A = this chain, B = another copy of it.
Amino acid sequence: MKKLIVAGLGSMGWPMASNLLGAGFDITPYDVDTKKVEQFERLGGTGGELSTHLAEADGLLIMVVNAEQVRSLLFDKGMAEKLKQGACIVQMSTVSPGDSAQISREVRAIREDLYYVDAPVSGGVVGAEQGSLTIMCAGNPDALAACRSVFEVLGSSIFQAGYSAGQGSAFKAVNQLLCGVHIAAAAEALALAEKNGLDLEVMVEMLGGSAASSWMLKDRGPRMILPPDDITSMVDIFCKDLGIVCDAAKQSRSYTPLASAAYQLFVASSERGEGKLDDSQVIRTYRLLNGKG
């Protein structure tokens, strides 16, 4: 793989495309926002007629917001139709396992000669910028092998989730289940501590060194005590991601009481108008319900 289209130049897609450019890949950028495309071309992206580039590219890397946008690119905009024979669609956006499998089937229905790799990531904007994402990939073994050089630029940990589209997205859903439940659990624990009049700073220090510790507790716990000026990740991201976890549970008929409860806590925060706050601020829903809001 040398020539790629990168579709989606948002907070994740932009740094990913930049890193690929820096590593010597020929990158044609695409975004609905044409200003972003022009800006990326000025940095070294390949401009010109998109259809021509699609017909020449080895791969189409997609990093957009949801399954609807993936479908819009592939089918409404006709990108799947225009790709050259044997090209690989590398779908890295977070979508449900069922959506990923379905999109793969829809691609196959119109183009049996394309590869579809299901390859969501974790690590956020920082991971995208540093090229240290965790990549969970699934698909045809030859296509996965061909994607290796791309993934090694984008991430520091590459896990093969399986050979079927949907399995990468299922890995991501399981990952997000824990991330979301751990943030909500940290909020629940600290709100209980607060209601009991305990010193939260001593508490977070204690918890961080005990069997009660989690990556999220250590990262978000201090942000729950002192609301941050910056935003690591928004409440709305977990409404989306835990929503996908609940979809994945429904699609596979699995029992997920903790994920469902955590999802509803993030939604309650968002519905009160706090969706754009740092996700640590889900503690505000606990405080409200504890009469401390």
Contact = CB atoms under 8 A, between A and B. Distances in A.
A179 B212 contact: yes
Interface in A241-271: 245, 248-249, 252-259, 261-262, 265
A189 B207 CA distance: 22
Contacts of A124: 211
Contacts of A186: 178
In the complex this chain forms, how many copies of it are found? 2
Interface in A269-293: 286, 289-291
Contacts of A72: none
Nearest to A190: B174
Q: Chain A: interface residue count, which band?
A: 35 or more
A268 to B, nearest CB: 11
Given A181-B181, A212-B215, A197 B162 contact: yes
A69 interface: no
A154 B290 CA distance: 36
Interface in A167-181: 167, 170-171, 173-179, 181
B207 A174 contact: yes
Given A181-B181, A195-B252, 13 more contacts: A134-B206, A157-B210, A162-B199, A175-B211, A176-B212, A178-B185, A178-B217, A185-B258, A188-B258, A192-B245, A211-B215, A213-B214, A253-B291
